[in-house]
Structures are given as structure tokens and as C-alpha cells.
Chains A and B, each alone.
Chain A
Amino acid sequence: MRILATFEKQERLRHIGHLDIMRAMQRALRRSGLPVSYSKGFNPHILLTFASALSVGAASTCEIMEVSLDEPVEPGVFMARMNEALPPEMQLTGARAVDERRPAAMALVRAARYDIRLPEDATRTLGAAIPGFLAQAEIITDRKTKSGVKPCDIRPLIHALEMRENHLLAELALTETLSCKPAMLLTALCAFTGIPEPRAMVTRTRLLGETEAGAIVPLEEL
């Protein structure tokens, strides 16, 4: 059977990279004693996938993983056993069984919501600039890729943007081919406003997927 689970990565762990979090999750699966499936072949590994890699430096309340089990396990039991095996800063917040024929969550991600906490002094200027920022026909900013830095238009990738108190709330495209990282957004917004980039604490708060009817919904509900 396949289980889809949501988990959080609290601020304390935000500097732990994606691969290290993956390994910690694999070890937790082993500690839990749950009947996890292994790949076949010479070097078997646990069949575990994450819906999306989270940038180093970001926390999250909504990471999604999928894992295959050799025997059926009640999702509630799965969650309880995993939470005993996981540190308090990396607990599961939900689990459910999903159809094994369904495409991997990784393939269904379309966008993500972020909460970008900013210092008080930067919020007023940046908040006031949002309407003008979004009214631009295009927003060119640098995208760092493996082959170097390339200019890229992120305007179509910004689905929503607002300032609430000192939190910049953004919904940004996140697909395998096109995505906008919160850091790129912040760089572009600060450049537009003409202020130096402030320290920011990024938390991913939702991963979003698309239904067959084209509606955007939380990924774990798909």
C-alpha cells in the first residue's frame, strides 16, 4: 500500500538540507519498525519520495512524502509509530492511504504558499510597493541554475502576494519545469522598492496541486 503523509520541518531544522532530511526520514521509517517496502536490486533502498525539495534555510508546516508498505497499516497507526521515531521538530501532521496507481505527489505539485517573516522596518515599504510591483508586465530577476545565472520573468509565476503585519504571504508556481523560489521573489521586490534585502524567515505553508477539473487544491487533499 502507499501512504501519503504530511510533516513539518520546524525552524530549528531549517538549515538541514533536503537530502539530509530524506535520510533522517528513512532512518525514522527503519526505527518505526513499520513494514516499509524496499526497492529491488543490488542496493535496495526504502521506497520513499518527497513531493518537493525544500530550500535550505526554509522551515515548513506542510511537507509531503509518500512511502510504500509491504503490508497494510492504518494511517493513524502509521502516524503514531512515525511520530515516536521522529524528533519533535520533524513530526507528521497527517497520513492517509492513496491509490497506488495514482501518479506520485511529486508529479502533481503546481504551486506553493510561503510565509516570509520580515523585520518590522521593512514591511511598510515593501507592503506599499506590492500593487505597483504586481502591475508590471514582467518582472525580470536572476535564476540560479546548474549552468549559471539566467534572467527570468517571474511575473506569471506569482499567483498571489500580500503583506499581513510583518509576514509577506505569497503563492508561487512550483512545477518541475517552472518555479519561483521565495528568495527570488524577495530579491525582485526589494530591487523594485529600492531597499536592501532584509533578513527573512521563510516557511512553506502549503503545497498545492491541480484536480482533473483544473482546480488548485492542497496537495494532500488530491
Chain B
Amino acid sequence: MQLFDEKIEAMLEQVQKAPRYTGGEMNAVRKDWDSVALHYGFCFPDTYEVGMSHLGMKILYGLVNREPDQLCERFFMPWTDMKALMEQENVPLFSTESRRPMADFDLLGFTLQYEMSYTNILAMLKLGRVPLHREERRRDDPVVVAGGPCAFNPEPLADFIDAFMIGDGEEVTLQLTAAVRDWKPTGAPREVLLRTLAAIPGVYVPAFYDVAYNADGTVASVTPNDPAAPAAVKKCVVTDLDSAYYPREFPVPYTEVVFDRIMLEIMRGCTRGCRFCQAGMLYRPVRERSLETLRSLARDLEKATGYEEISLSSLSSGDYSCLPELIRALMKDLEKERVSISLPSLRIDSVLKESLEETQKVRKTSLTFAPEAGTQRLRDVINKGVTEADLMEKVTDAFSSGWSAVKLYFMIGLPTETDEDLDGIADLAAKVVRCYFSVPKEKRAKGLRVTVSTSSFVPKPVTPFQWEPQDTLEELKRKQAYLKEKLRAVKGVNFNYHTPELSFLEACFSRGDRRLGRVLEAAVNRGCILDGWSDLFSFENWMAAFADAGLDPAWYAYRRRGEDEVMPWEHIDSGITRRFLRHELEKAQRAETTRDCRHGCNGCGLNQWKGVCAYANPGHV
């Protein structure tokens, strides 16, 4: 260990941002390695600053470390300078806490937040000297698992991951760690463990499923090849958030990270049913934490972390049923500690806003709105229940209460989009600018800044648009140029947009099949890592990787799926019925909206968890 530590110290002197690798934070776990029976490595396939901002990590880290016979330490993707030094100095990827090599851990758990981090998983396993393919792993090699939203289509990673956890992780994670802990001393082969894992509800073991393909390349079937494996793996749902584990402390980084504050998850799920939104489907049903639980968590987390800011986290915090009461209670509880509460900017009642302005330092930096589409027709297609009148009301409100910077988020390339919808984006931006000037000069803040930001639509599994093609790269670029030209005419507006090549690759992997594992491997060999960081992204290398694997990315991104086509993730059961998704797609094509679940059950399928969804109509099937 001594030599290894010396080498690490020498490397840290040479890299940028050494604090990414030093650990030693307040509340970081310091368990004796030999005192526990199971060593879990939580792996975040991106840099420390991104990983330390992730709520799921904080939950699972606390959850596993609460078990007296288990420990959880963290792994992150090192930056390129550190990675190169580790390779040169022959130092394997090591944990942040005890600087143990990755291969010493019994169980490694990756979180899948974003398709473009998949190659980082492969790169981390390689750096950690863990055999890359699950088939090559021997009895003493770590068991590699993964979970998170992208696990709902696990297939592109199926060659590298021993088991996937589908759905909420709070309960299944401990079933998994216990299974590995109990198997380890038995000396039984790896396959015995995999069978135990496959029998845990919500766990998908890809080795036990065979994929057959049709002549046209589409999936013909995914069938279990072992009696331990269920025909479909149903996601885990934590039925009661109040009794589910939530950490009362978590490591506090020294350096600033992306979200450097207390994150309080007030609810899970969303009732709005935007048709492009995968999270809105995956995290159903909506469950809320009670006011009392949240107050107690907030007090404990403030004491344990020393943070001065709490953010209320969820997909749609404005929908939390007693948001004003919650905010007032938290403000009262934490007033003495000078904790500020960052709020969802929308849907705050005016009384509350006044009391906020009195007591809080509301930083009037920038307000964000996400109309997502430029015309009412297209907003109806995607079921984004925002009207132009709503937006104008909110923007006027913001300008008259002292904000002068507004960000507007849109997607381009949405199904049925025409140039008229792009014109609509420019119109909306112009109306926002006019709105600012309509507020009397003495009432509004100086320095108007309107930013229009567009991302490219990526069709995702388990959404009504899962059958839809993505716009071609050429078309996306044309639309960006068109919009840029249109917005040039609107004074006071900045325009920025995401790299469409990244969205294209996301589209390949989000709905991709098992064969794409070959592409990931070729891409890592060509140096495609940390692609979320635009300065490192090389589209040419990715295209070469597809060629290496003999696969056509256009076939994955641009193809309209047949109504009855077997999806690569057909054996993963999100609880949402295919019939519901198809019905939603048809309504989208007719630009018909679907009501918010709070106004009546739409029959998505989640009512199968009896009593969990507060809005379910048991009559719907």
C-alpha cells in the first residue's frame, strides 16, 4: 500500500484539480476495511464535480454504510490528465476514501444517468483492472451492477454488467449487497450468485436472456434461458417515501461542485405526462414525502453538512401538494441558521412570494422557463401544458419583481415539427422582449438578457415517442441555422444550442440493442471518453467505432419503429403499458392533449401497485 500511496501522491502533484481525487471530506465514510464482510464501490461514470452533485449517490452511499457489516466507497471517472498518469505509472483506479484498487471490491455499482457516460464505465473498469466483459469475470472478480434511469434499456451495456437494478434503488440495493455478502464465503461459482440475483424482483441478469434478431436487424425476441430468470423484470417501486431511507448526512466536498447544497427530494414522479419526457414516465407513480419528514430531514441535514442552502428537488416541485406550507415551515425552522431555500421558480403563489422577498435574499440572477416548443399546436403534440398566456404572465411578473434575465428552453426536432414551429420560438422570444419593455422603467431592473437555448429531441424508451425517428443531423443543423437567422432579428436575445452530434449518439444508445456493446468497446479503444465535455468529444472517432463494429448509427436513430416491433427493452417492465404509450402517440399525432393525472386517471398502468399512486383509478387497466 505504501508504494501505491506514494505514487498517487506524486501524481496528484501533476494534475489539474487534485481535490477531485483526495477525499477526506466531512462525513466521508471511514470504516475499517477488514471490519466488514462486504465492500461496495459506488461508481459514478463522470467527474467528481458531477458525481458529487448526484442525489442517488448520496442516498445509496448512506444506505449501504448504515449497514454495520458493509462499507461503500466512491469511484469517479478521472480526468484525462489523471487517467494518462495512472496508465503510465501503472496505478489502478482507486477509491476516494481508502485508495483501494477497484478490483479489491466485492461489488461495483454504476449509476446510469446519461447515455454518453457509457464509455466512461468501460474506461473505469479498464483502469480498475476489472475484466471488461461479464463472461470473462472469475469468481474473485467484483460483481458489476448498474441502475438508474438508463437501466430501463440496459441492452447496450448488457455485455459488461452482471446485473441491472430496475427502478427505485432504496430497497433492492440492500437485497443485492446481502446476496453477494452471503455468497462470497460459500465458494460457490459465480453462476450460483447470478441465479440468486435474478430471483430478486427488479434485478435483470443479462446472461440469462437470449436475444434473437430478424433478417432486417430488428429484435425478434428476448427470452430467458434459465429457470431463475423471469420472462419480464418488473421495476422496483418504493411504495412509501416517508419510510424509505433518506440520508441525514452526506459527504461535503471541499471544492465547489455543480450542485453544492442540501438536496431535499420532496417527491418522486410527475403527473404532467409530457410525451417526450422519459423521467416523467419512469419515476411514476407520484409519491410525496410528508411535511414532517421533510422538516426533520432538513434540520438534520443542515446540522450535518453546514450548508447554507437547501434546494427542493423533484421533477416538478411546484406540484408538491403543500408547497407553500413546506416552504414557510422550512424558512421558520432554519431562519436562525440563515439557510436559504432555493425554490422552483414557477408556480409560487403571490403571498408566498412577498414573504420570501421580505425574509430571504432571493438572488435575482436568471429565471428559467421551458415552453419546449414554439407554437401551441406543437406544445399540444408533446402535451406540454403551458400556454403563451401563462408564460407571458409569469415573465411579466418576473420582470416587474426585479428579474432581468430570462432563459427559455426549447427542443428542436420534435415529432411533427415544421418551420412554422421554429418561427414560433422566435415570436415567443420577441414577445418576452416586448414584455420587458412594457414594464415601467422605474419598476424593472436594468440589463435585459433573454437566452434561447435549444436541445435536439432524442426519442427515449418508455415514452409515447419511442417509436418515432429522430431528425437527421442535416435537418437538425438546418433548423438550428434557420432559427439562428430568425433570432438575429430579435434584439436582446442570445441563442445557444446543443451539439446535435451528441444528440444523435444519444438516440442510438437510448433505444439501442445488445449489439451496440461492440460500438462502445471500439469507441473506448479510440479514446471516446468524457464525451459530455464538449472539448473532448470527437464525432469522427464515434463514427469510426460504429464502422469497426459493422453497425449503422442512422439505422438506430432515424428509423421509425413498427407498431408491433419488439423493442430491445421489451423484457424490462416499467409498469407503463405499451397500449397507453401507443394511445398517447396517436393523440400526439392528432395534437390532442392528455390531462394531468391529478385531474383524473389516464390509465398508464401504474395502478397495478395498489394504493401507491394517489391519482389512480383502479377501474382502469
User: Contact residues of A with B, CB < 8 Å?
Assistant: 10-13, 15-17, 20-21, 23-24, 26-31, 33, 38, 42-44, 57, 85-89, 199, 201
Q: What B residues does A20 contact at CB under 8 A? A: 19, 254-256
Interchain nearest-CB distance for A107 vs B (Å)? 27
Are A89 and B10 touching (Cβ within 8 A)?
no
Chain B 294-337 near chain A by CB (<8 Å), digits 1 or 0? 00000000011111100000000000000000000000000001
Q: How far is the CA of A29 from the CA of B18 in the complex (A)?
A: 25
Interchain nearest-CB distance for B259 vs A (Å)? 16
B24 within 8 A of A: yes
B560 within 8 A of A: no
Q: How far is the CA of A12 from the CA of B254 in the complex (A)?
A: 12
Q: How far is the CA of A24 from the CA of B337 in the complex (A)?
A: 16
Are B22 and A42 touching (Cβ within 8 A)?
no
A15-B22, A20-B254, A24-B26 known; A43 and B307 CB under 8 Å?
A: no
Q: What B residues does A10 contact at CB under 8 A? A: 24
Residue of A nearest to B27 (CB): A87
Residue of A nearest to B12 (CB): A15
A24-B26, A27-B307, A85-B306 known; A15 and B18 CB under 8 Å?
A: yes
Residue of A nearest to B303 (CB): A31
Q: How far is the CA of A11 from the CA of B23 in the complex (A)?
A: 12
Are A16 and B19 touching (Cβ within 8 A)?
yes
Q: What B residues does A86 contact at CB under 8 A? A: 26
Q: What A residues does B307 contact at CB under 8 A? A: 27
Contacting B254 at CB < 8 Å: which of A11, A16, A57, A85? Answer: A16
Q: What B residues does A88 contact at CB under 8 A? A: 30
14 interchain pairs, CB-CB under 8 A? A12-B24, A15-B18, A24-B26, A24-B254, A26-B306, A27-B252, A27-B307, A29-B306, A30-B308, A31-B26, A31-B304, A38-B338, A42-B361, A87-B25
Are A199 and B254 touching (Cβ within 8 A)?
no
Q: How far is the CA of A158 from the CA of B252 in the complex (A)?
A: 39
B563 within 8 A of A: no
Interchain nearest-CB distance for B362 vs A (Å)? 12
Q: What B residues does A11 contact at CB under 8 A? A: 9
Residue of B nearest to A33 (CB): B303
B358 within 8 A of A: no
Q: What A residues does B254 contact at CB under 8 A? A: 13, 16, 20-21, 23-24
Are B24 and A87 touching (Cβ within 8 A)?
yes
Q: How far is the CA of A88 from the CA of B13 in the complex (A)?
A: 22
User: Contact residues of B with A, CB < 8 Å?
Assistant: 9-10, 12-13, 18-19, 22-26, 28, 30, 252, 254-256, 303-308, 337-338, 361
Are B361 and A43 touching (Cβ within 8 A)?
yes
A30-B306, A88-B30 known; A12 and B361 CB under 8 Å?
A: no
Contacting A12 at CB < 8 Å: which of B13, B23, B304, B337? Answer: B23
In order of increasing CB-CB distance, the 3 nearest A-B pairs are A27-B306, A15-B18, A30-B306
Residue of A nearest to B15 (CB): A15
Q: How far is the CA of A170 from the CA of B232 in the complex (A)?
A: 70
Residue of B nearest to A27 (CB): B306
Q: What A residues does B26 contact at CB under 8 A? A: 24, 27-28, 31, 85-87
Q: How far is the CA of A31 from the CA of B308 in the complex (A)?
A: 11
Q: How far is the CA of A17 from the CA of B25 in the complex (A)?
A: 14
Interchain nearest-CB distance for B100 vs A (Å)? 15
Known pairs A15-B12, A31-B26, A43-B361 / 20 extra A-B pairs, C-beta < 8 Å: A11-B9, A12-B22, A12-B23, A12-B24, A15-B18, A15-B19, A15-B22, A16-B22, A16-B255, A23-B254, A26-B306, A28-B26, A31-B303, A33-B303, A42-B361, A87-B24, A87-B26, A87-B28, A89-B24, A199-B10
Q: What B residues does A38 contact at CB under 8 A? A: 338
Q: What B residues does A12 contact at CB under 8 A? A: 22-24
Q: How far is the CA of A63 from the CA of B607 in the complex (A)?
A: 60
Q: What A residues does B305 contact at CB under 8 A? A: 27, 31
Residue of A nearest to B306 (CB): A27
Interface centre among B10, B255, B256 (most CB of A within 10 A): B255
Q: What B residues does A16 contact at CB under 8 A? A: 19, 22, 254-255
Interchain nearest-CB distance for B54 vs A (Å)? 20
Are B306 and A28 touching (Cβ within 8 A)?
yes
Q: How far is the CA of A26 from the CA of B252 in the complex (A)?
A: 12
Contacting B24 at CB < 8 Å: which of A13, A30, A199? Answer: A13
Residue of A nearest to B17 (CB): A15
Residue of A nearest to B302 (CB): A30
Residue of B nearest to A87 (CB): B26
Q: How far is the CA of A190 from the CA of B291 in the complex (A)?
A: 64
Q: What B residues does A89 contact at CB under 8 A? A: 24
Q: What A residues does B10 contact at CB under 8 A? A: 199
Residue of B nearest to A30 (CB): B306
Q: How far is the CA of A30 from the CA of B23 in the complex (A)?
A: 21
Q: How far is the CA of A199 from the CA of B10 in the complex (A)?
A: 8
Interchain nearest-CB distance for A39 vs B (Å)? 11
Q: What A residues does B9 contact at CB under 8 A? A: 11, 201
Q: How far is the CA of A26 from the CA of B308 in the complex (A)?
A: 10
Q: How far is the CA of A88 from the CA of B303 in the complex (A)?
A: 18
Q: What B residues does A29 contact at CB under 8 A? A: 306
Q: What B residues does A15 contact at CB under 8 A? A: 12, 18-19, 22
Interface centre among B10, B13, B306 (most CB of A within 10 A): B306
Residue of A nearest to B337 (CB): A30
Are A57 and B24 touching (Cβ within 8 A)?
no
Q: What A residues does B252 contact at CB under 8 A? A: 24, 27
Interchain nearest-CB distance for A209 vs B (Å)? 28
Are A199 and B13 touching (Cβ within 8 A)?
yes
Interchain nearest-CB distance for A188 vs B (Å)? 20
Interchain nearest-CB distance for A84 vs B (Å)? 11
Interchain nearest-CB distance for A137 vs B (Å)? 34
Interchain nearest-CB distance for A3 vs B (Å)? 18
Q: How far is the CA of A15 from the CA of B255 in the complex (A)?
A: 10
Interchain nearest-CB distance for B521 vs A (Å)? 34
Interchain nearest-CB distance for A41 vs B (Å)? 11
Q: How far is the CA of A31 from the CA of B18 in the complex (A)?
A: 26
Residue of B nearest to A44 (CB): B338
Q: How far is the CA of A122 from the CA of B117 in the complex (A)?
A: 44
A42-B361, A199-B10 known; A31 and B306 CB under 8 Å?
A: yes
Q: What B residues does A201 contact at CB under 8 A? A: 9
Q: What B residues does A85 contact at CB under 8 A? A: 26, 306
Q: What B residues does A26 contact at CB under 8 A? A: 306
Q: What B residues does A21 contact at CB under 8 A? A: 254
Interchain nearest-CB distance for A15 vs B (Å)? 4
Interface centre among A21, A30, A33 (most CB of B within 10 A): A30
